[in-house]
Amino acid sequence: MPDVTGITVCITISFYEPRLSWNEEATMTFLRTTLLALSTTGLMAGAAIAGEVSAKRGAQVAVTSGCHDCHTAGYNETGGKIDPAAALKGTGLGWQGPWGTTYPSNLRLTVAEKAKTEDDFVTFAKTFQARPPMPFYNVHAMDESDVRSLYQYIVSLGEAGAPAPAFVPPGEEPKTPYIIVAPPVMPKG
C-alpha cells in the first residue's frame, strides 16, 4: 500500500493553522504545496518502480530504451510517433561498417521464432549476441520486469510480418539503402 502520510500531514497542517502574518502564511502555503508535491510524486514514482509487468509498461520501455529508434520504420522521421503497423518490425535501412552490413531485426519475429514464452524471452534477452551497432549488452543489463514488460508489448502488437533484410558480409554491396559507420580517424601527429 502506498505511503500517504505526506497527504495526511498536509491536510492536518491546513486545519490547525493559527492566524499568521503574510510572510508566515506564505511560508506555510509553500510548505503545504511542497509536502503535497513530494507525497504525490512519491506515489506516482512508486507505481513505476514497483516492477509491474504489463504491455503498457513494455511500450514505455521500448521508447525509453531506444528499441523503436532502429527497429520501427519511420519512428525517427516522425519525431517519435509510433505507427502500430510498423512497430518493432525492423527496417530495410542497413548499417555498414567493418563487420559488413546489418539491419535492425523484426522483434516480433524474434519473439515468434526464438522466444515463444515470456520466460524464453527473458533468457534470450539476457544471453543473445548481435553485430554492431546493436547494443545487446544494454539489453543484458535490463531489469527482468522491463524485459517481461517488453515481451508483453511485442506480443500485443500482433502479426509478426516479414523478416528484415539478411546480414551482408564485408565487401559485398547491399541491395537496400545503408548508413556507413566508419571507424574513427585519428589526427596525424
CA distance linking residue 79 with residue 72, whole number of Å = 12
Instruction: Write down the pLDDT at residue 24.
Output: 53
Cα end-to-end span (Å), the chain: 64
Q: Tell me whether strands 100-102 and 94-97 are parallel, antiparallel or unpaired.
A: antiparallel
Amino acid symbol at 33: T
Tell me the pLDDT of the chain (189 aa) as tens digits. 444 333 333 322 233 344 444 455 544 444 444 434 434 434 344 344 448 999 999 999 999 999 999 999 999 999 999 999 999 999 999 999 999 999 999 999 999 999 999 999 999 999 999 999 999 999 999 999 999 999 999 999 999 999 999 999 999 999 999 999 988 888 987
Task: Give the model's pLDDT for residue 5.
Answer: 39
Q: How far apart are CA 173 and CA 145, in angstroms?
A: 40
Region of 82 please: left (phi>0), alpha (psi -120 to 50) or beta: beta
Q: Tabulate helix, strand, coil % of the chain (nearest 5).
A: 50, 5, 45
Apex CA 47: angle with CA 128 and CA 64, to 5°? 40
Strand partners, 108: none
pLDDT for the residue numbered 184: 86
pLDDT score of 51: 81
Rg (CA), the chain: 24
28 CB-side CA count, 13 A? 17
Cβ-proximal residues to 130 (8 Å cutoff; 6+ apart), any chain: 102, 136
Residue with C-alpha cell 549476441? 129
Q: What distance in Å separates the CA atoms of residue 87 and residue 2, rounded to the nearest whole number?
A: 34
Q: For residue 99, what pLDDT is reported? A: 95
Residues 81, 119: Cα–Cα separation, whole Å: 30
pLDDT at 25: 53
